[in-house]
Amino acid sequence: MNLDTTAARAATAGAVALAALGSAAWVEHRARLAERRHHAPHRLMYVNGVRLHYQLVGEGPPVLLVHGNLVDGADFEASGLLDHLAMKHQVLVIDRPGYGHSDRPRDQPWTPAMQARLLHHAASTLGFQRMVVVGHSLGAQVALAMALQNPASVDGLVLVGGYYWPRLRLDRWLAMPAAMPVLGDVLRYTTSAWTARATLGSALRAMFHPHPVPRRFHELLPREMLLRPLQQRATAEDASHLVKQARALVNQYVALQTPVTLIAGRQDRIVSPKQTRWLHAGMPHSRLHLLDGMGHMAHYEPQAHEVIAAGVQRALAASNAAVVRPETTELPRRSSTSPLPRTPSVSPEPLPTGAR
């Protein structure tokens, strides 16, 4: 009996190991195939030994776009925001480390603050000495860190759907195993690889709620590129840093004097719009825009394009003014051709207890 049990266990372990090796080989094959089919469409540069993929378009005052989690810089192209801003500005989009065609070396923790230093160095190398930074989702944390680290280089911030105050998030805990060295690598080539494939569709639908996922998104951000182990590692690590980075930044918000425009979709299912309200309450000189009928990917809507562009123009006009007139505007859903309605300033919601 003991010999039979031992043999059965050994056979089971061997089968599991063989299945894991087969899964890993298949995942790696799919990743290499995706990278061959979807080669870097724009330019590559090396900053501090890190390969970064970037796109630089348009002419005019410089604007840096910083994308969120799961996606890469092509998100701004798919949304139409890149083309909209490039009509009046020189716009730089960089794939953050581990996304798209940028590398993510393992020699340091890629917190949003560390990414901010790298992207600022890259932008400076490309001639962006002063710029307005537009950040979406986790990219908003990177943008905030950049403004705090380099206030003389950032003329203003436009933040869309960001996470700013440390609150409990289930996805942070779910991401932690996949973000761990060694264990995360094993998971990304085995169980997590299959889980990601099964859940990617629902994740994208939640991001774009209340609208369907646009065809343009699938065209410019291919499914197999999003599912590569490198990009899944970047997504997991960034999710694990989210709350910790918010906790590190929260007491520094009051020091920001640069013009700040805050935007959130009222129907955001990924990051509660309360996060944006709380930041506005703690940053009185900021301007708040809550967009009705929009979710986490609000920057795909023409109305949001206009609000973002207005925020960029406001920052450039203020040019690091010491005092910016506070204003709160809550926007109902409208067509892309109707004028932006204006309402009187309203009192912000109280800050969450224990946030500071």
The answer to whether residues 253 and 262 touch, using CB atoms and an 8 Å cutoff, is no
Separation in Å, CA 67 to CA 73, 115, 137, 161, 179 = 6, 12, 7, 11, 20
Query: Cα angle at 195 between 224 and 168, to 5 degrees?
Result: 110
- Residue 160, burial from CB neighbour count under 10 angstroms (0-12, 13-18, 19+): buried
Establish whether the linkage from the previous residue to 112 is cis, with ω within 30° of 0.
no
Q: Are 125 and 50 in contact (CB under 8 A)?
A: no
* pLDDT computed for residue 228 by the predictor: 94
Residues in the chain with pLDDT < 70? 1-4, 7-8, 10-20, 23-24, 27, 29, 168-180, 182-189, 319-356
DSSP codes joined into one string, 76-133:
HHHHTHHHHHHTTSEEEEEPPTTSTT----SSS---HHHHHHHHHHHHHHTT-SSEEE
The secondary element (H helix, E strand) that includes residue 328 is strand 327-331
Tokens for 257? 């004097």
- Domain regions of the chain by residue span: 43-331
CA distance 76 to 87: 14
Determine the pLDDT at residue 311.
98
Query: In the prediction, which pLDDT does 21 show?
Result: 73
Give the contacts of 231 (CB within 8 A, at least 6 positions apart): 70, 72, 98, 99, 100, 225
43-331 to CATH, choices 3.40.50.1000, 3.40.50.1820, 3.40.640.10, 3.40.140.10 = 3.40.50.1820
Please say whether the beta carbons of 278 and 164 come within 8 A: yes
pLDDT of residue 7: 67
Dihedral sign from CA coordinates of 26, 29, 33, 39: positive
Q: What is the DSSP letter of 214?
A: P
Using CA atoms, how far apart are residues 10 and 21, in angstroms rounded to an integer? 16
Three-state DSSP state, 246:
helix
Encoded amino acid at 9, one letter = R
Q: Is the dihedral of CA 195, 197, 203, 205 positive or negative?
A: negative
Instruction: Tell which residue, 206, 349, 354, 217, has the closest CA to residue 290.
Output: 349
Reading phi first (left if > 0) and then psi (alpha if -120 to 50, else beta), residue 119 is in alpha
- Buried (b) or exposed (e) across 21-32, using 16+ Cβ within 10 A? eeebeebeebbe
- Residue 345 has what pLDDT? 30
Contact between residue 112 and residue 238 where contact means Cβ atoms under 8 Å apart:
yes
Residue 226 neighbours by CB under 8 Å, 6+ apart:
70, 71, 200
Which pTM was predicted?
0.84
CA atoms in the 13 A half-sphere facing the CB of 246: 25
3-class SS at 252?
helix
DSSP states of 55-78 as a string? Answer: EEE--SSEEEEE--SSS-THHHHH
Cα separation of 90 and 87, whole Å? 8
Asked if 329 contacts 289 with a C-beta cutoff of 8 angstroms, the reply is: yes
